Structure 1
Amino acid sequence: MSTTTEHHITPSVELSAATKRVAVVSSSVRNGRMGPAITDWVVDLVKVNQNVEVDLIDLAEISLPSDRELYPGGGPKTEVSSRIEAAEAFVIVTPEYNHSYPASLKRLIDWHYNEWMFKPVMIVAYGVQGGYAAIEHLRGVLAELNMVTIQRCLGLPAPWNTMDEAERYEPGESVTGRLRIALAELDWWASMLTQARDRSPFPS
């Protein structure tokens, strides 16, 4: 995976007074999953921004229609279509399974189309080596949906080693600081792309 030059963003700067809706997607549906612990950590930091409303979409708690009903460009409306459409930015929390991301997440992506378009997304991946293969596979898929995957995606190597006694994810200030900076970038993209969609809608 190529390295990039790190540019500094001040996370405390609020770029817009308007309230943004950020959907946080928890992708793992396995029994004994640790995804909820990482997702809770992410949600807590997203909520630090007073101008953000968080919508947690846990894929273990929703049901999508049969894939037989899918067609190019999505499918019939699902129970989360309106929530995805209402979101102005996304954080995807995903494990890495077999050098990629889980089928549960691919189904959520494939079942929606226009709802994703021209919106920013940040990926928080985890796995033995940090989940970076899942991040790279997702970048191509999300680009096909006209989404902007921000540069500062976050990989968490072996996060089960940093759980506290209450089974909360406690990675320390270095990792937490990286997430704060990434969320500041996501906030910037959400402001810019929301304005662009309002002022110059892409012709359908």
Structure 2
Amino acid sequence: MSLNIGIILGSTRPGRNGEAVAKWVYEIASQRGDANYELVDIAEYHLPHLDEAMPPSLGQYSQPHTKAWAAKIDSFDGFVFVTPEYNHSTSGALKNAIDFLYAEWNNKAAGFVSYGSVGGTRAVEHLRLIMAELQVATVRAQVALSLFTDFENFSTFRPGEHQLQSLDATLAQVASWSQALRTIRTP
């Protein structure tokens, strides 16, 4: 059975840089042949600020948007999060989307493609802590895109050639770890 890996576009901001970054990740990933990759835009799920009465760890979702989001996340073996860095962290929209669920994230792998003035690395530091709480294994490799060198005028995405090597390493590790972790999720 083929692996399914979601590329999670973690910004909902109008004019977001993340859309071009996520499409780049998807285009490169789709050529690999080691998994089925799907681009998932959190903006399409219209998740309000967390509006479930019960904690996500109970899995008792009442809202249609939560149920749709849960089904989508549950369908994946691993993830590549595309995240901006806002104020030394990830976007509030991505954090909110993550917080809606619990079991759907468990025992899967994740990698990160970040962007910001210092490559989005501080956003990834926070995401690694969040993922640990959700029992998601994060891979070491990551892509850190600078607004100064990988974007023209801070808005037109033009990644440096060296970023392909970082992306390839990230995707390879996510696929490998996703395959390994599948064994503990499958009876």
The TM-score, its normalising length taken from structure 2, stands at 0.88
Partner in structure 1 of residue 130 of structure 2: 141
RMSD between aligned residues: 2.0
- State the 1:64 CA deviation: 2.1
The amino acid of 1:53's aligned partner reads N
SS of corresponding position for 1:55: strand
The amino acid of 2:22's aligned partner reads T
Partner in structure 1 of residue 112 of structure 2: 123
The amino acid of 2:35's aligned partner reads V
Whether 1:50 and 2:33 are equivalent positions in the alignment is yes
The amino acid of 1:118's aligned partner reads N
Distance in 2 separating the partners of 1:70 and 1:99: 30
* Contact 2:113 2:145 survives alignment (8 Å): yes
Alignment of 1:73-92 (within 5 A): 73=57, 76=61, 77-92=66-81
The amino acid of 1:46's aligned partner reads A
SS of corresponding position for 1:114: coil
Distance in 2 separating the partners of 1:22 and 1:118: 13
Q: After superposition, what is the alpha-carbon deviation per residue over 1:44-87, rounded to whole angstroms, capped at 9, x for unaligned? A: 11111224222221122211255242432265143221110010
Which protein has the bigger strand share? Answer: 2
Q: Identity of paired residues, percent?
A: 34
Q: After superposition, what is the alpha-carbon deviation per residue over 1:122-181, rounded to whole angstroms, capped at 9, x for unaligned? A: 0111101111110001111110000001111221111675359xx5x3313211111101
SS of corresponding position for 2:67: coil
Partner in structure 2 of residue 186 of structure 1: 174
Say which is worse superposed, 183-192 or 64-73, in terms of deviation: 64-73
- State the 1:196 CA deviation: 2.5
Q: Indicate the structure (1 or 2) with the bigger Cα radius of gyration.
A: 1
Task: Note the residue ranges of structure 2 that are not aligned, 5 or more in a row.
Answer: none
Say which is worse superposed, 172-181 or 86-95, in terms of deviation: 172-181
How many residues align structurally?
Answer: 179
SS of corresponding position for 1:45: helix
